[in-house]
Amino acid sequence: MPGPELKDLFENNKKWAGEITKRDPTFFKRLSHLQSPKYLWIGCSDSRVPANQITGLLPGELFVHRNVANIVVHTDLNCLSVLQFAVEILEVRHVIICGHYGCGGVEAAFHSKKLGLIDNWLRHIQDIRTKYSHELNQIKDETACLKRLCELNVLEQAQNVCQTTIVQDARNKKKALSVHALIYDIHDGLLKQLWSSK
Ligand code: CO
């Protein structure tokens, strides 16, 4: 029996599974045999940006990797393994990198906040801030500047995805694969496309 701390979660879960089964009695049985999602989502861990909910996709429709500030680093075996599995085994058609305005990771990097181990991870965003310092310094309003850094971060991470051996190999094999850079606004719940490879 679950302890009292997680009681709500288990109750919600039971209700959720029951509702889905009521609508579609074979839903879980079908999914238990295979998954064939069309999309890989690489997003921020932020609790306000739940990938399936904001895209209205059901279990089985979205393969997901999330980390703080949706960063794709060429030495991150975790992220690269997700990407490789999604592209080569699941054969997803779209890789979506989704950042969001109001990203705590981007803000911490922008203000050079000292938060511990994570400072090393967020250093990648400080490198982007440095790379685009000319553009960013011209934006006088701090909120606007932070928003732009959130966008630049997604755009840079989308380029990183494109430069991985995994996406390069897919391109060489003429696989149908598109990479998209999206940004989500936590103020109105809306997604915006910033860039797309096709
Ligand atoms: Co974030």
Give me the active site residues, please. 44, 46, 48, 100, 103
Task: Calculate how far, in angstroms, residue 37's C-alpha sits from the geometric centre of ligand 1.
Answer: 24
- At 71 the pLDDT is 98
Neighbours of ion ligand 1 (CB under 5 A): 44, 46, 103, 105
Confidence of residue 133 (pLDDT cuts 50, 70, 90): very high
60 alpha carbon to ligand 1 midpoint, in Å?
A: 24
Q: Where in the chain are all domains bearing CATH 3.40.1050.10?
A: 36-196
45 alpha carbon – ligand 1 mean position (Å): 6
**Residues facing residue 23 across a β-bridge:** none
Residue 153 — left, alpha, or beta (φ > 0 → left; ψ -120 to 50 → alpha)? Answer: alpha
In angstroms, what is the span from residue 55 Cα to ligand 1's centroid? 17
Band of pLDDT at residue 167, cut at 50, 70 and 90: very high
Euclidean distance between CA atoms 97 and 180, whole angstroms: 6
The predicted pLDDT at position 3 comes to: 80
pLDDT, tens digit, 9 for 90 and up, residues 103-127: 999 999 999 999 999 999 999 999 9
H or E element in which residue 94 lies: strand 94-100
Question: E-strand spans in 27-168?
Answer: 39-44, 62-67, 94-100
Residue appearing with tokens 């794709």: 72
Q: Residue 146 to residues 36, 68, 123, 143, 161: CA-CA distances in angstroms?
A: 36, 16, 16, 5, 23
- Mean per-residue pLDDT, 185-198: 96
The CATH code belonging to domain 36-196 is 3.40.1050.10
155 CA distance to ligand 1 middle (Å): 15
Q: Residue 182: pLDDT above 90?
A: yes
Q: Say whether 154 sits in a helix, a strand or coil.
A: helix
